[in-house]
Structures are given as C-alpha cells and as structure tokens.
Chain A
Amino acid sequence: MATDRPTYDVAVVGAGPAGLSAAVGAAEAGLDVVLVDAGRLPGGQYWRHDDEHSTPPRSHGGRLFARLRARLHHQRDLGRLRYLPGHQVWLIDRPRPDGGPFTLRLNGPYETAPVERDRVRARALVLCCGAYDRQLPLPGWELPGVMAAGGVQALLKGHRAVAGRRAVVAGTGPFLLPVATGLARAGARVLAVCEANPAHGWLRHLDGAVRAPAKSAEAVRYAALMARHRIPYRTRAAVTEILGEDRVRGVRIDGGEVLEADLVALGWGFTPALELPLMVGAATRRDLDGSLVAVVDARQRTTVPGVLAAGETTGVGGAAPAVAEGRLAALSLAAAHGLPVDPRTVRRLRAAIRHGRAFAAALHRTYPVPDGWTDRLTERTLVCRCEEVTYGELCRARTDLGAEDPRTMKLLARPGMGWCQGRICGFAVAAVTASLTGRPATAEDLRPLSARPFAAPVTLGELAEMVDEDEEP
C-alpha cells in the first residue's frame, strides 16, 4: 500500500443519496474529498441498480441519481474527488483523540478482490451510513426462504434474481408495496401483503404545511400496481408464525389461516447503521420510530467537532431529505473553510429537510412497530440468529440471573455476540429486555447493541500491519 497520501479535507462515508450529495457538493464547493463506499456501484440501498450503465426507475428518483452520478464522475475526473467503491470502513481513529485528522481504516467487503487503499486520512467526516430493514423475531424466521424485504428488493434490483415463486410480504410500512409489486413484475405470485397497521393512515397525519404530491402520486401508483397484479393487501394483519422444516413452506396469519409460500419478505421499518457515529463519540438519541440516530444541529454537525452526518444516520426519512442533508453538510464544511455559500441555497435546503422530516414523522406515526409484538415470541423462538439465543433464554437471564439491561443481557445470554454483532437483533433485544424489566426501551437500551468496536470484520493479519499515523516518518 502506498503511504504517500494526502490528508483530505473531508471523507464521506456512504454513497447513497446523502453521501453522494455530500461528496459531490463538497467537491464542487472546492474541497478535497474522498468518498468511501462498501458498494460496488454508487446509489446505496435506495438507488440500487445492477450495472454502471443502468439507473433506478424514474419514479424512484432515478433522474436525480443519474445527475448526481454524472457529477460524481465529473469531479472524480477533475481530480477533486477520490471515489473508493468496494471499501468498507472498519475503524476510525485519531492519533490525538481530541484533534487532528481522522484515520479511516479500510478493507474490502469480501476477500476475493483486493482493495485499493487500506486507509485514508481526513480532517472532517460526513457519515452517511444508511439503514437496513428492521426485524422483529417471530417463530420460524430463521428458515431459509425468509428474507428481509430489502434483501428481496436488492436481489431484484441489483442482481435480477427472484428469491421465490410464492411470496408473502409482511411487516409494516409503505416499503412493503414496491417489494410486493417488484416480485409480481418479476413473475412471482404474491399471495398477500400483510400490513400490521391500519392502511393509508399516513395521509391523515400530514398537516397543511406538509403536502407531498409526489408521495401521494406514488401511493396511487402502487395501489394501481397492487390491483393490476391482484395482490391482496391485508391491513391489521400479521404473520405470527413461519412454517417449515429445512426451508419455509408457509406462514400462519394472525394465529389462524395458513398460506403456502416459499418466500417470506419481512420488514418493520429501518434501522440506521450507527456504529461509526458511536465509534467517534457522537451523541445519539431515540427517534420517533424507535431507532437510535445521531444528533445533528442545523448544519448537520454531530456533537463531535469535525464530524457531520446526513441521511438515515440522523433519522429514517428516505431519499429526499437525505439528498438535502448531504448537500447542507457539504455547504457547512465549505463555509467552515471560508468558501462562499449562498444563503438562499441553505434556506432552500433547510426547507426541504423540514418538509421531508415532517413527512417521515407522519409515516413513523402511521406505521409504528405494534405494541405487544413480543407476545408472539415463544420459549423457542430465536431472537439472536447468529448465536441462536432463544426468547426463553433471554427470559431466564432476566429472571434467574438478574440481567435488566441489554449489555448485561449480552454478557449473560450472548444475544448480539455473533457474526452480525447485534445488527439484526439489537432492536429486538433492547425491546425484549426492557419489556421483561417492565419499562419502555430507551436510547440507553439501544446503544450497547448499536456500538461496535470494529465496524466490519478485519483479519488479524490486517490488524498486525496497522499503521499508527503518529509513527510515520
């Protein structure tokens, strides 16, 4: 690895809507930028597509993406932006913890291809780490053929593969609809969308200040697609058990009716990836949807000087506010460097963020994780998939051993100690522990399962070769 490398003005982590916008905006404003992204292609989960020439559909903001991608390539060609796809950040550290540049230590998401850089340094960070499907454990969810709704979507959009022939899509939130219609368009039979909450209530949560014609049109379009593909949309309906031996054979709905299926797509909203904000010491809070998110001010600054955040990292809100937040973060950094920033642009971005956040809040209120979901758990239901820790074991760690907070639960029963380090079960373990202790889950409950000393697995060989920036000649 080359060691004669610059210290960038800013490192942007993540090339989804927020990160692309932040990186392009910062480079265009005149800053030296490095954009690090685990994905092979830009766009993140939201703008996932399958090769460098294609774009996501126009209905999904595809044109905005195409413009950002063109600007990204332009800035890269001008030498103002270094783009590192296929690089994941496993550690961020600082030689002098309270000042000086950050070192981002990088490796590849898989070992079959080498990475270009094993570290970059930057004076500021914009963390745009995105989110993934939130999961609630239920009996049988570990069976092959049960997938996260976003994973089913990723297979369709990114890999042109359909995960099954007879599908049930279940959970809550409007994201279930594109998954269902995407499956149907790809030839799968979608037996039902089970929406745990009452349907379409979200329009009622929007007050006069928050009109969202684009979103309303989207809703109408999905309704039409659902009708065209004859997909039953069941509201106040939940999959309560997944049936099968070595793979999924069917689902039980609300404890009664059984539908035979070979694919179950589950999603209960989204969980932002918070390990990097927590790693650098940024303050976090529990958002309206129950997720842990980074605290930012009106300039997208976290509580750690030099660290900004945008997009789902600051609260699940979708692509529109993410793009605006990314741009605003770029302008904040530009202003801090004494570069000119048009105050009208800042005002426009803040208005877009307010609008997008208000809309997201309405969705969060409409599609909450239902109270009492833990009642579906049985003694043998796996809560932690990696370490195969059952609900019964969590109960015993609570009742016999006195684990009354998630950290102690981890130490005594091992949920969140396996390969995924609590990414999948963290929300559930926090909720179960709090529920067993007779209180609602708080940010304090979520943090121990969201913090990870390494943001990605790293070989001991890589650790042994780690360069300490202070030791460099």
Chain B
Amino acid sequence: MTPYGKGPIHQDLPRTADLVVIGAGVVGAAAAWFATLAGLRVVVVDRGAIAGGTSGAGEGNVLVSDKEPGPELELARYSRQVWGEDLGGYGGLWEFERKGGLVVASTPAALGALRTLAARQRARGVVVREVSGDELPALEPRLTREAAGGALYPQDAQVQPMLAAAHLLRLARQRGAVVRTRAEVVGFLRPGGRTGSPATPGGDTATPGGGMGAPAGDMGAPAGGMGAPGRDAGVPVTGVTTPHGTVSAPAVLNAAGTWAGAVAGLAGVGLPVLPRRGFVLVTEPLPPATVRHKVYAADYVDAVASSDAELQASPVVEGTGGGTVLIGSTRERVGFDRRPSPAAVRALARGAIGLFPMLASVRAMRVYAGFRPYCPDHLPVIGPDPRAPGLWHACGHEGAGIGLAAGTGKLIAQALTGEAPELDLTPFAPERFERGGADEPRGT
C-alpha cells in the first residue's frame, strides 16, 4: 500500500471531519497520529509542504537537559517518554537515537551553576550524572581539554524531524487520515456563515518549494498582539475554508508553528507567537563518532531562557549518522529574514571551535536558518481556546518543538477525546496571555 502514490498527492478534501489539523510539521503530525489512533477522522492541511517550516530547520533535539524545572521540563520528560515508548517501535523510521547530552562548563564557577541546575533537575526526575574534567576525554575524545567539568544526561535523544513528521503522517494516512499539502487555510467556518479573514499581510504569498521554503520566508511577523479582541472572539469555530474546499469539523487544531499567530488571528484571537531566528552550520562528513553526544556549553540554558532581541550564541555541537556535524545555536529576534548573517555564522564557528578545537580545520558545507516559534513566557500553547470554542492550539514550542511534539500530540488527543490529559495543560493555556503576567521568564 502506498499512502500517496505517483502523481499529484492532492486528495479531495472531505466535507467533514472530527478534527482538522492546520500544519504538517512534526507537532501537527504527532497530533494527527494520536488523534487518528484514538479513532478520530482527521484531516491535515498545510499551505506548504510536509515539514516545510521549522520542523525542517532544526537539529532534531529531544532534550530534557536544557530545561529549568517547571512546566516545560514536565512536558519534556513526558514527551521523551512518548517518543521512547508509544512511538518507540517506529524509532528506526525517524532515526531515534539515545545519544545522550553532555553539558560542558568551561570554568569552576560555571560548573558550580551547572551542578546546582542538575540537582534541581534530578529532584524532578531527570537522570543526570556529574562528570569531572578528567572524565570528559573518555566521553568525548575531541573535546577541548580546557573544560572544568560537565554533566551527562543519558535521556537526551535525537530524531530526524522531517522523517518523523513525514512518517507520522504516513502512518496516520494508513489509518484513514487525509493529508492535503499546498492547501492554505484562508478562513474559519463560524456559525452564521461568517469566516475569518487574513489577519496579516502576506498570508497568501506562500511559495512552497521556493528555496526559502514554505511557509513564505518573507512573511511579516504574525499579528499576535494583545490588542482588542478580534471581532469573532467567542464565536465558535466549526471548520476551515481553503481554496480547495471547506471542511466542517467540531475541532480545529492550530499547529502552524511560527505562523500560528496569523492562524489564530484568522479566528479573531490573539496569540503572541513570534519568530526567533536560529542558524545551524553543517560540516563536511567526518569519521563516525567524531562527536559522540549532543555537546553544548553550560550557558546554553541561559540563552534558551532569555528574551533578548540581540544576537545570542551558545555552542551546541553534535554528529549525525550521515557523518556531518551540526553546529548551533544562535538566537535573534529579527523577523523572518533567512539571509545568513556573518555575525551569527562567525559566532557559531567560534563557539564550536571553543568546544572542539579540531573543528577549526573542518569545512562547513552549508548553513540554514529556522524560525523558532516563541511566546513571551517561553512556554508552548497547548489546549482549547475558550475565546473561540472549537479552536485548539498546539504551537509556540520555540526551539524544543521536535522533542515536545510527541507528548503534545498525545495530550491533545487525550483532551480532544474527553480523557483527562496525563499532564496538566493549565500552564500552556492559550488565554493565559490575556491575564497579564505571562511574560515572566519560565522556570522557578
């Protein structure tokens, strides 16, 4: 059985479904899979291609190590378990690898801070082993000898996120789900025949497959402000309108990633999801096990949690089975600009050489940009939106969307089918930004 077959994959959209998922990235795919598994008739629509947005622009992190204790760490631990258990049998399809994370502190002071964080994480159930400076070479032979010490997180894992999204959608299709790419949601069905209208300029400028990828790289930042509620707030959402037809459904899930604010805007509700640009450098293929773990500097956790608009860089280095080494990470709030920034690329190279001096003579083959979908409090948005009944969200996962996708998808499916979610979704409530105070840094 071939889920798609030769020729155009465009199937006709069914007129009705139990759930419409907007977004064929890894979060939408995981939600589609778990909802289909739970017996729902699911339709997935995306204005671009499968994994065409942030899912195709990351490193495939499934991490617990970089989370401060708090709601995101709980979600990360839960999701790591879903990747390993519920989805464990499929791990080979998306190259699930329990490679472990190694956090490296360059100074005794940084090591002290790392130990403190590790202790707090351990109290929340994270498996972490302290590593002395003397032990580091055995774990990572090419690592700088300058490091003071580190912490090893065996639960940290990696997946190939594009394959994860594509295979989850394939599996969902085999159970009856319908996946329609190149179908942009242009409005929501609302009782009384009203539909939403595009909330942002450029919403119709998607150029799938256009090199910069889909969704459109030059689209303005989504309207996600905390202004006056939209005119349709409070009116239920009962389906979606696309240029290829409408689908009525009692539930519509906004899994549009960095572009989720614009989708929410179509329903008249505000959702402050903004792009935070990151670059990843890819090296030439190197011998196997040149870099064995996901290795990053201890200041990475601070960079992840910060809200600065300025360029921040913290080195993250890891090998891939294909032989290339991936080098992150930078964080900038610059809208949707994909052009390689010399300053960012230079920061990546310097950071990587700082961790692995041998990389200085290794060549980079390319660099790619992605846009992390982040919310002011750095927590994702997961759950039903009371401001537009029938509209659900699973978005805003920032740089952790791959890792958090499996758990998010399963929790959404539980909530949709009336089960009590295995994890409390309150911290992720879509309406939390209306209350004020949700822009505090996460963590405790």
Consider the complex of A and B and state whether they touch directly, i.e. have CB atoms less than 8 Å apart: yes
A407 with B213: CB separation less than 8 A: yes
Contact indicator per residue, chain B 329-364, by CB within 8 Å of chain A (1) or not (0): 000000000011011011011101100000111111
Interface centre among A408, A418, A419, A457 (most CB of B within 10 A): A408
Say which residue of B209, B211, B364 sits within 8 Å of A454 (CB atoms): B364
A401 with B166: CB separation less than 8 A: yes
Cα of A459 to Cα of B51 in the assembled complex, Å = 30
B362 with A453: CB separation less than 8 A: no
Nearest CB of chain A from residue B85's CB, rounded to whole Å? 24
Interchain Cβ contacts within 8 Å, total number: 151
Please name all residues of chain B whose beta carbon is closer than 8 Å to the beta carbon of A404 when the two chains form the complex: 8-9, 49, 181
Nearest CB of chain B from residue A238's CB, rounded to whole Å? 24
A408 with B170: CB separation less than 8 A: no
Please name all residues of chain A whose beta carbon is closer than 8 Å to the beta carbon of B7 when the two chains form the complex: 437-438
Q: Which residue of B lies closest to A448 (CB)?
A: B211
Please name all residues of chain B whose beta carbon is closer than 8 Å to the beta carbon of A460 when the two chains form the complex: 281, 283, 327, 349, 352-353, 359-364
Cα of A454 to Cα of B170 in the assembled complex, Å = 34
B50 with A400: CB separation less than 8 A: no
A461 with B360: CB separation less than 8 A: yes
Q: For the complex, is B5 an interface residue (Cβ under 8 Å from A)?
A: yes
A387-B322, A401-B166 known; A464 and B349 CB under 8 Å? yes
Please name all residues of chain B whose beta carbon is closer than 8 Å to the beta carbon of A436 when the two chains form the complex: 6
Q: Which of B68-76, B105-113, B184-192, B365-373 contacts A (4 or more CB under 8 A)?
A: B365-373
Contact indicator per residue, chain B 100-138, by CB within 8 Å of chain A (1) or not (0): 000000000000000000000000000000000000000
Cα of A403 to Cα of B182 in the assembled complex, Å = 12
A461 with B56: CB separation less than 8 A: no
A407 with B360: CB separation less than 8 A: no
Cα of A421 to Cα of B365 in the assembled complex, Å = 8
Q: Which residue of B lies closest to A401 (CB)?
A: B166
Contact indicator per residue, chain B 195-224, by CB within 8 Å of chain A (1) or not (0): 000000000000111110100000000000
Nearest CB of chain A from residue B314's CB, rounded to whole Å? 15
B364 with A458: CB separation less than 8 A: yes
Q: Which residue of A lies closest to B349 (CB)?
A: A463
A398 with B345: CB separation less than 8 A: no
Nearest CB of chain A from residue B277's CB, rounded to whole Å? 14
Q: For the complex, is B406 an interface residue (Cβ under 8 Å from A)?
A: no
Q: For the complex, is B52 an interface residue (Cβ under 8 Å from A)?
A: yes
Q: Which residue of A lies closest to B348 (CB)?
A: A463
Say which residue of A399, A406, A463 sits within 8 Å of B5 (CB atoms): A399
Say which residue of A411, A414, A457 sits within 8 Å of B56 (CB atoms): A411
Please name all residues of chain A whose beta carbon is closer than 8 Å to the beta carbon of B49 when the two chains form the complex: 402-405, 407-408
B363 with A421: CB separation less than 8 A: no
Say which residue of B281, B283, B340, B353 sits within 8 Å of A461 (CB atoms): B353
B162-176 residues with Cβ-Cβ distance < 8 A to A are 162-163, 166-167, 169-170
Contact indicator per residue, chain A 273-298, by CB within 8 Å of chain B (1) or not (0): 00000100000000000000000000
Nearest CB of chain A from residue B278's CB, rounded to whole Å? 14
Please name all residues of chain B whose beta carbon is closer than 8 Å to the beta carbon of A445 when the two chains form the complex: 209
Cα of A111 to Cα of B322 in the assembled complex, Å = 24
Cα of A93 to Cα of B162 in the assembled complex, Å = 30
Please name all residues of chain B whose beta carbon is closer than 8 Å to the beta carbon of A406 when the two chains form the complex: 209
Nearest CB of chain B from residue A319's CB, rounded to whole Å? 30
Nearest CB of chain A from residue B256's CB, rounded to whole Å? 17
Q: For the complex, is A468 an interface residue (Cβ under 8 Å from B)?
A: yes
A407-B211, A412-B162, A451-B211 known; A399 and B366 CB under 8 Å? no
Nearest CB of chain A from residue B249's CB, rounded to whole Å? 21
B51 with A454: CB separation less than 8 A: no
Say which residue of A93, A400, A448 sits within 8 Å of B2 (CB atoms): A400
Cα of A377 to Cα of B395 in the assembled complex, Å = 42
Q: For the complex, is B424 an interface residue (Cβ under 8 Å from A)?
A: no
Chain B count of residues within 8 A CB distance of the other chain: 54
Chain A count of residues within 8 A CB distance of the other chain: 45
A402-B50, A411-B56, A457-B284 known; A463 and B4 CB under 8 Å? no
Q: For the complex, is B3 an interface residue (Cβ under 8 Å from A)?
A: yes
Cα of A406 to Cα of B211 in the assembled complex, Å = 9
A402-B9, A454-B365 known; A459 and B360 CB under 8 Å? yes
Say which residue of B170, B348, B363 sits within 8 Å of A400 (CB atoms): B170
Please name all residues of chain A whose beta carbon is closer than 8 Å to the beta carbon of B365 when the two chains form the complex: 419, 421, 454, 457
A405 with B343: CB separation less than 8 A: no
Q: For the complex, is B63 an interface residue (Cβ under 8 Å from A)?
A: no
B346 with A463: CB separation less than 8 A: yes
Nearest CB of chain A from residue B262's CB, rounded to whole Å? 21
A401 with B167: CB separation less than 8 A: yes
Please name all residues of chain B whose beta carbon is closer than 8 Å to the beta carbon of A437 when the two chains form the complex: 7-9
Please name all residues of chain B whose beta carbon is closer than 8 Å to the beta carbon of A418 when the two chains form the complex: 285
Q: Which residue of A lies closest to B1 (CB)?
A: A400
Please name all residues of chain B whose beta carbon is closer than 8 Å to the beta carbon of A408 when the two chains form the complex: 49-52, 56, 162, 209
Q: For the complex, is B247 an interface residue (Cβ under 8 Å from A)?
A: no
Interface centre among A97, A438, A463 (most CB of B within 10 A): A463
Nearest CB of chain A from residue B214's CB, rounded to whole Å? 8
Q: For the complex, is B179 an interface residue (Cβ under 8 Å from A)?
A: yes
A417-473 residues with Cβ-Cβ distance < 8 A to B are 417-419, 421, 436-439, 444-445, 447-448, 451-454, 457-461, 463-466, 468
Cα of A241 to Cα of B350 in the assembled complex, Å = 47
Nearest CB of chain B from residue A118's CB, rounded to whole Å? 13
Please name all residues of chain B whose beta carbon is closer than 8 Å to the beta carbon of A454 when the two chains form the complex: 364-367
B56 with A400: CB separation less than 8 A: no
Q: Which residue of B lies closest to A280 (CB)?
A: B339
Q: Which residue of A lies closest to B162 (CB)?
A: A411
A444 with B346: CB separation less than 8 A: no
A468 with B50: CB separation less than 8 A: no
Nearest CB of chain A from residue B280's CB, rounded to whole Å? 11
Q: Which residue of A lies closest to B52 (CB)?
A: A408
A457 with B364: CB separation less than 8 A: yes
Q: For the complex, is A91 an interface residue (Cβ under 8 Å from B)?
A: yes
Interface centre among B170, B362, B365 (most CB of A within 10 A): B365
Say which residue of A93, A399, A447, A459 sits within 8 Å of B363 (CB atoms): A459
A399 with B181: CB separation less than 8 A: no
Cα of A465 to Cα of B2 in the assembled complex, Å = 50
Interface centre among B179, B209, B284 (most CB of A within 10 A): B209
Interface centre among B6, B283, B284, B342 (most CB of A within 10 A): B342
Please name all residues of chain A whose beta carbon is closer than 8 Å to the beta carbon of B170 when the two chains form the complex: 400-402
Cα of A14 to Cα of B7 in the assembled complex, Å = 41
A400 with B3: CB separation less than 8 A: yes
Nearest CB of chain A from residue B389's CB, rounded to whole Å? 32
B342 with A405: CB separation less than 8 A: no
A402 with B3: CB separation less than 8 A: yes
Nearest CB of chain B from residue A417's CB, rounded to whole Å? 8
B348 with A448: CB separation less than 8 A: no
Cα of A412 to Cα of B170 in the assembled complex, Å = 13
Nearest CB of chain A from residue B173's CB, rounded to whole Å? 9
Q: A-B pairs with the 7 shortest C-beta distances?
A: A405-B209, A463-B349, A461-B360, A401-B166, A457-B363, A438-B7, A464-B349
Question: 16 interchain pairs (CB within 8 A)?
Answer: A91-B342, A400-B170, A401-B170, A402-B9, A408-B50, A408-B52, A414-B322, A419-B365, A421-B366, A447-B210, A447-B211, A448-B213, A457-B365, A460-B352, A464-B350, A466-B349
Point out residues on B near A: beta carbons under 8 Å: 2-9, 49-52, 56, 162-163, 166-167, 169-170, 179, 181, 207-211, 213, 281, 283-285, 322, 327, 339-340, 342-343, 345-346, 348-350, 352-353, 359-368
Q: A459-B364, A460-B283 are in contact. List 10 more A-B contacts (CB 8 A).
A: A93-B340, A399-B2, A400-B166, A406-B209, A419-B285, A437-B7, A439-B8, A453-B368, A457-B284, A463-B346
